[in-house]
């Protein structure tokens, strides 16, 4: 039992690092799901696109910073396509995302040169994060520290941007598109911009994940939307009542990714499910956290009101 507990403790730093990386992705999902109120499934394709662009660029001799910037741009282009399909062609957002996601599979294969995966060696390339640096390295090289700093910087930029006129227009569009149009806001423009920003952030997360794993795979984004939604919902359920500040909400979403991966690691350690059941477990976690606010409102609040009335 002691060895098993030790193995769990040894596995937790890796789970935290992956959770933080997926937390960046969850911030991108938060922009469409919560701010814009759009169901965007493009992210399942973008989650591979960013990693593919980053790794291929680095293998071609470009720096890690420039490669990650190109990954971000590739994600914004994917969001642009979804936005145009939705606004210019009148296709519902969820279907527009599916069409772009489907197209990205072929595009990602082209980026990878027709191969299903592409590895990158830590010994040959200057990676920003790596699984091999999860312990026994200076703190400034540890992926947990590096990604945490990236999240803080990202939240600061998002906090600034959504406080600008353009950012407020995006938030207004998600809150009430009809009123936004009445106020002279071009809601089509703000939807496209929000989708571009969201998918750019998702692609940035993918670039981190590909470096961390040491490879990019054509299927690495499959089911990514479920993980992103899980992080968003977990963050809101656990931390939603603490503070309403926008920056704190983004931080809570990132922490939701960490909690999700820690829970996954604990469930695997307990032997309740095998690694083959990852997708099933993801769906169960999302369903449970989605149901908690509803069940709490339906049963516990009514019971409290009933008890209060009888007491009176």
Residue 191's CATH number: 1.10.3470
The predicted pLDDT at position 158 comes to 94
- Burial pattern 91-116, b for ≥16 Cβ within 10 A else e, equals bebeebbbbbbebbbebbeebbeeee
Distance in angstroms between the alpha carbons of the first and the last residue of the chain = 53
* CA–CA distance, 108 with 168 (Å, rounded to integer): 33
The predicted pLDDT at position 2 comes to 54
Residue 161 has which token pair? 């941007």
The secondary structure element, H or E, covering residue 59 is helix 43-59
- The boundaries of the domain holding residue 179 are 2-311
The predicted pLDDT at position 12 comes to 77
Q: Compute how many other C-beta atoms are within 10 angstroms of the C-beta atom of residue 37.
A: 15
Number of domains in the chain: 1
> Digits of tens for pLDDT over the chain (312 positions)?
555 566 666 667 888 888 999 999 999 999 999 999 888 899 999 999 999 999 999 999 999 999 999 999 999 999 999 999 999 999 999 999 999 999 999 999 999 998 888 898 888 888 898 888 887 788 888 899 999 999 999 999 999 999 999 999 999 999 998 898 998 899 999 999 999 999 999 999 999 999 999 999 998 888 888 888 888 888 888 887 777 788 899 999 999 989 888 888 787 777 666 667 777 777 787 788 778 777 777 777 655 555 554 444
The predicted pLDDT at position 312 comes to 41
């Amino acid at each position: 039992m002691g060895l098993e507990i030790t193995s769990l403790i040894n596995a937790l730093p890796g789970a935290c690092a992956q959770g933080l990386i997926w937390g960046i992705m969850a911030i991108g999902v938060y922009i469409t799901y919560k701010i814009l109120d759009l169901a965007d499934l493009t992210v399942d394709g973008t989650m591979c696109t960013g990693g593919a662009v980053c790794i291929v660029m680095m293998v071609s001799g470009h720096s890690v910073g420039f490669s990650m910037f190109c990954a971000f741009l590739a994600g914004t282009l994917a969001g642009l396509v979804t936005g145009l399909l939705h606004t210019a062609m009148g296709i519902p957002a969820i279907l527009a995302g599916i069409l772009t996601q489907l197209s990205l599979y072929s595009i990602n294969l082209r980026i990878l040169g027709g191969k299903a995966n592409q590895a990158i060696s830590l010994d040959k390339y200057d990676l920003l994060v790596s699984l091999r640096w999860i312990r026994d390295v200076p703190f400034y090289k540890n992926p947990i520290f590096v990604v945490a700093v990236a999240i803080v910087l990202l939240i600061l930029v998002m906090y600034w941007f959504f406080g600008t006129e353009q950012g407020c227009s995006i938030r207004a569009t998600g809150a009430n598109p009809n009123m936004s149009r009445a106020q002279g806001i071009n809601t089509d423009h703000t939807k496209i911009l929000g989708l571009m920003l969201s998918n750019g952030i998702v692609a940035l997360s993918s670039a981190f994940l590909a470096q961390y794993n040491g490879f990019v795979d054509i299927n690495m984004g499959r089911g990514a939307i479920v993980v992103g939604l899980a992080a968003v919902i977990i963050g809101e359920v656990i931390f939603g009542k603490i503070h309403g500040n926008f920056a704190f909400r983004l931080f809570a979403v990132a922490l939701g990714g960490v909690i999700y991966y820690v829970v996954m690691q604990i469930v695997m350690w307990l032997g309740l499910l095998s690694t083959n059941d990852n997708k099933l477990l993801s769906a169960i976690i999302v369903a449970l956290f989605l149901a908690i606010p509803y069940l709490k409102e339906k049963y516990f609040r009514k019971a409290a009101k009933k008890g209060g009335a009888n007491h009176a």
